[in-house]
Amino acid sequence: MKFAIKHEINGRLRIHLAMKRMTYREADSFEYYLNNFHEITKVKVYERTADAVIYYNGDRMDVINYIRRFSFNKLQVPERVFECSSRELEARFSEKIMTDIVVYYGKKLLLPAPVRRVWVTAKMVMYAWRGLKTLKNKRLQVELLDAIAIVAAVLSGDFNTASSIMFLLKIGDTLEDWTHKRSVDDLARQMSLNIDKVWLVRGDTEVQVDSSDIECGDEVVVRVGNMIPFDGEVSCGEAMVNQASMTGESEPVCKNIGMSVFAGTVVEEGEITIKVTQTEGCGRFDKIVKMIEESEKLKSGLESKAERLADRLVPYTLAGSGLTYLISRNVPKALSVLMVDYSCALKMAMPISVISVIKEATDYGITVKGGKFLEAVAEADTIVLDKTGTLTKAKPSVVRVVSFSGEPEDELLREAACLEEHFPHSVASAVVDAAEKKGLLHDEMHADVEYIVAHGIASTINDERVVIGSYHFVMEDEKVVIPKDKKQLFDSLPDEYSHLYFAKNGKLAAAILIEDPMREEVRKVIEELRSEGFEHIVMMTGDSERTARKIAAEAGITEFYAEVLPEDKAGYVEKAKAEGKKVVMVGDGINDSPALSASDAGIAISDGAEIARQIADITIGSSDLESLVVLRRLSTLLMRRIKFNYRTIVGFNTLLILLGIMGVLPPATSALLHNGSTLALGLKSMTRLLPEKKDEE
């Protein structure tokens, strides 16, 4: 691709491609291409001018060579990139606003006064009809106030005021729609499906392949805790599927042969094979947008309270205008009161405040599904933290395999990896990674695998029943015995590691020692959470007492519970809520899902199980727990902003009404100040609450 460098500083290039302008798809394709290189940290492509601003780390010539090699014809871009793009939306709204402004001032300059009056009168009918339609709800709404003001201005011969009011209302509606739509779309993009690997049925075996290789008609296996990657039809098996992301249903739905399943839903229990009917462009993004827009979850308690107050104030505004006219017999004074309403500002500023903060949170790797969860985080006094994958590093590693059966350690690791590769857990990933590093191939050698949540896996290999999992599952539930001559070896297993037990035919075959060190930032994060107002910080884990005590001491946590089951975590959350506490739960695994669901705000780690992310109200990045502190600060600042907006709107608009009654402000000025203040507050509500996160140099 030919291009020219228009401007350059260290770590930043502004280039112009050798073309007049790009289509929206071309601009999205170029941006997608550049974002695939790790040296490039940020890209902004301007389709109108065919320019691009590129921020990068590393060698400048590498970036230039990437651009030179680019070709629209050779690049394969997933359809979801275009589906989730906001480029066309931004262009459409900006063009609409510019067109409205040009048309408004063009009419004033070019059309004679009689023609303008006819035009205003015709437009008045439309606003009057819109106002009258609100009476069907048997409620007085702000549209009726607007209609009365416009009609009164026309009837009194003040066509300029009527025209100005309609213009300001139109611009205000467009800006409100634009900011809301943009914020919702940004949130939906964060929630959109992004699955890299799937299990493809090929003959009698399963093969893990890239999701981009899947075609319609292929069969894909989805097991417990995993997200369904494509729309399809169940061809084998039965499962309970959580469809909350699509339908809002809280209870899982049973799916069996012949029934349809949807991309983005999650298998809670069971296992199914689906025949893929749609791979790309399946409209999941649009479904998520619809879910967000329709969901009451977007509304915090303060936001809902403000909206209810706004609706209740409309009749008083109308009555105040009528009373002003009856006392003064002055139409402009009465119109000045009608030009000012609390509803418009409250209903615009409050949702924008919430959605803008949700969008800001995504800059820190935080995805929030609604305003009420930010409010819950702001009010919470108790935070419950899972250990493995949350307080400890997201990627534990295998230190050693101890054989109890006389078999080679590598063979035992290979068999364990063959079982563990099917399930979403950080410890399972550690086993698979260890086998991969040693070059141990583990093609399917077992019968169907059964996953027991929070315990382990059971299956059959070479006609032997095999189990792998926790001490409770392997030793107590499965009654596995330790070879008599190996008891001393078992007792000497080092305490500093987590232990994963692998057994065959009721006898312990191996203990896999897992190093699961605490994250470096945990102690600092715990201290900051205390300073942010969390009175109770609790750690809960299914691991042993000795391991839990060690991690809790290192983290600075005084209250912890070890060897707990999923129902124990959920029970603790329910008990704390019954005592009047506001509880936040943080976890990453399938076993954390009940507690995440029971809490006032459930927070999942992004690298955890899909079911945890699906059930959780908030998702944070796996790289740094500092985002928990950021989330708390954002939530607290949001509540302050909502309260400030509320006070400002009520105070300023009350002042405008009083000035209108006194005759200080004419109707057009009242309308301008009211709409101007509403837009200003809306724009202010879109600004960041925390200092902008700088790109890494």
**For the stretch 607-637, what's the b/e string if a residue is b when 16 or more beta carbons lie within 10 angstroms of its beta carbon?**
bbbbbbbbbbbbbbbbebbbbbbbbbbbbbb
Distance from C-alpha of 454 to C-alpha of 612, rounded to nearest angstrom: 13
Which range is least confidently modeled, 166-175, 446-455, 647-656?
446-455
Which pLDDT belongs to residue 316? 73
Residue 539 has pLDDT above 90, yes or no: yes
**Category of 249 on φ-ψ map: left (φ > 0), alpha (ψ -120 to 50) or beta:** beta
Question: 193, 80 in Cβ contact below 8 A?
Answer: yes
Give tens-digit pLDDT for 215-235: 888 999 988 777 788 888 999
Q: Cα(first)–Cα(last) distance of the chain, in Å?
A: 27
**Helix axes of 342-362 and 371-379: crossing angle, nearest 10 degrees:** 80
Confidence of residue 190 (pLDDT cuts 50, 70, 90): low
Residue 50 has pLDDT above 90, yes or no: yes
More confident residue, 396 or 454: 396
Distance from C-alpha of 145 to C-alpha of 131, rounded to nearest angstrom: 7
**Can you tell me the mean pLDDT for 5-30?**
91
Q: Measure Cα distances from 16 to 7, 13, 170, 555 in Å.
A: 10, 10, 36, 51
Give tens-digit pLDDT for 402-430: 999 999 999 999 999 988 887 767 788 88
Q: For residue 456, which phi and psi values (nearest 5 degrees)? A: 170, -155
**CA dihedral of residues 254, 257, 260, 262 (deg, nearest 10):** 70
H or E stretch at 662: none
Tokens of 513: 């020692």
Dmax over Cα atoms in the chain, in whole Å? Answer: 107
Query: Which pairing describes strands 3-9 and 12-17: parallel, antiparallel, or unpaired?
Result: antiparallel
Query: Which pairing describes strands 382-386 and 253-255: parallel, antiparallel, or unpaired?
Result: unpaired
Confidence of residue 696 (pLDDT cuts 50, 70, 90): very low
| Domain locations in the chain as residue ranges | 3-77, 197-290, 367-393+518-620, 397-515
Which range is least confidently modeled, 147-151, 570-574, 685-689?
147-151
Which pLDDT belongs to residue 238? 87
Question: Taking all residues of the chain, what is their mean pLDDT, rounded to a whole number?
Answer: 82
Give tens-digit pLDDT for 469-503: 888 889 988 899 999 899 999 989 887 788 899 99
Distance from C-alpha of 67 to C-alpha of 438, rounded to nearest angstrom: 38
DSSP 8-state class, residue 387: I
Distance from C-alpha of 126 to C-alpha of 140, rounded to nearest angstrom: 18
Domain 367-393+518-620: give its CATH architecture.
3-Layer(aba) Sandwich (3.40)
Residue type, 387: K
**Can you tell me the mean pLDDT for 127-134?**
84
Nearby residues of 72 by Cβ (< 8 Å), 6 or more positions away: 26, 29, 30
For the chain, percent of residues with pLDDT exceeding 90: 28
Residue 287 has pLDDT above 60, yes or no: no
Which pLDDT belongs to residue 296? 42
The residues that bridge with 510 in the sheet, in sequence order, are 403, 502
Question: 382, 584 in Cβ contact below 8 A?
Answer: yes
Which pLDDT belongs to residue 349? 75
Nearby residues of 94 by Cβ (< 8 Å), 6 or more positions away: none
Q: Measure Cα distances from 483 to 6, 401, 502, 506 in Å.
A: 74, 16, 13, 10
Distance from C-alpha of 276 to C-alpha of 198, rounded to nearest angstrom: 12
Residue 694 has pLDDT above 60, yes or no: no
The hierarchical CATH code for the domain 3-77 is 3.30.70.100
DSSP 8-state class, residue 263: T
More confident residue, 358 or 636: 636
Residue 361 has pLDDT above 90, yes or no: no
Nearest residue to 454 (alpha-carbon basis) of 272, 592, 309, 317: 592
Which range is least confidently modeled, 113-117, 549-553, 675-679?
675-679
Distance from C-alpha of 639 to C-alpha of 624, rounded to nearest angstrom: 25
Q: CA angle at residue 425 from 424 to 431, to 5 degrees?
A: 105
Confidence of residue 297 (pLDDT cuts 50, 70, 90): very low
Give the residue ranges of DSSP H helices in 439-579: 471, 487-491, 522-531, 545-555, 566-578
Confidence of residue 295 (pLDDT cuts 50, 70, 90): very low
Nearest residue to 456 (alpha-carbon basis) of 446, 467, 466, 444: 467
Same fold, 197-290 and 397-515: no
Distance from C-alpha of 591 to C-alpha of 610, rounded to nearest angstrom: 12
Which range is least confidently modeled, 30-44, 175-189, 566-580?
175-189
Coil/strand/helix, residue 264: coil
Residue 554 has pLDDT above 80, yes or no: yes
Distance from C-alpha of 656 to C-alpha of 410, rounded to nearest angstrom: 79
More confident residue, 682 or 277: 277
Distance from C-alpha of 562 to C-alpha of 544, rounded to nearest angstrom: 6
Nearby residues of 642 by Cβ (< 8 Å), 6 or more positions away: 300, 302, 303, 306, 350, 353, 354
CB atoms within 10 A of CB 253: 15
Give the residue ranges of DSSP H helices in 111-158: 113-133, 142-155
Nearest residue to 226 (alpha-carbon basis) of 268, 282, 261, 274: 268
Residue 442 has pLDDT above 60, yes or no: yes
- Lateral strand order in the sheet of 397-403: 397-403, 507-515, 498-504, 464-469, 456-461, 450-452
Question: 220, 206 in Cβ contact below 8 A?
Answer: no
Which range is least confidently modeled, 282-296, 493-507, 670-684?
282-296
- 492-499 long-range contacts, Cβ below 8 Å, gap at least 24? 493/402, 495/546, 495/547, 495/550, 496/550, 497/399, 498/388, 498/396, 498/427, 498/543, 498/544, 498/547, 499/471, 499/544
Chain-centroid distance of CA 332 in Å reads 48
Nearest residue to 680 (alpha-carbon basis) of 660, 653, 657: 653
The hierarchical CATH code for the domain 397-515 is 3.40.1110.10
Nearest residue to 261 (alpha-carbon basis) of 276, 281, 283: 276
Helices (H) and strands (E) counted in the chain, each on its own, are 24, 24
Confidence of residue 261 (pLDDT cuts 50, 70, 90): confident
Question: 187, 358 in Cβ contact below 8 A?
Answer: yes
Residue 288 has pLDDT above 60, yes or no: no
Query: Which fold does the domain 197-290 belong to in CATH?
Result: 2.70.150
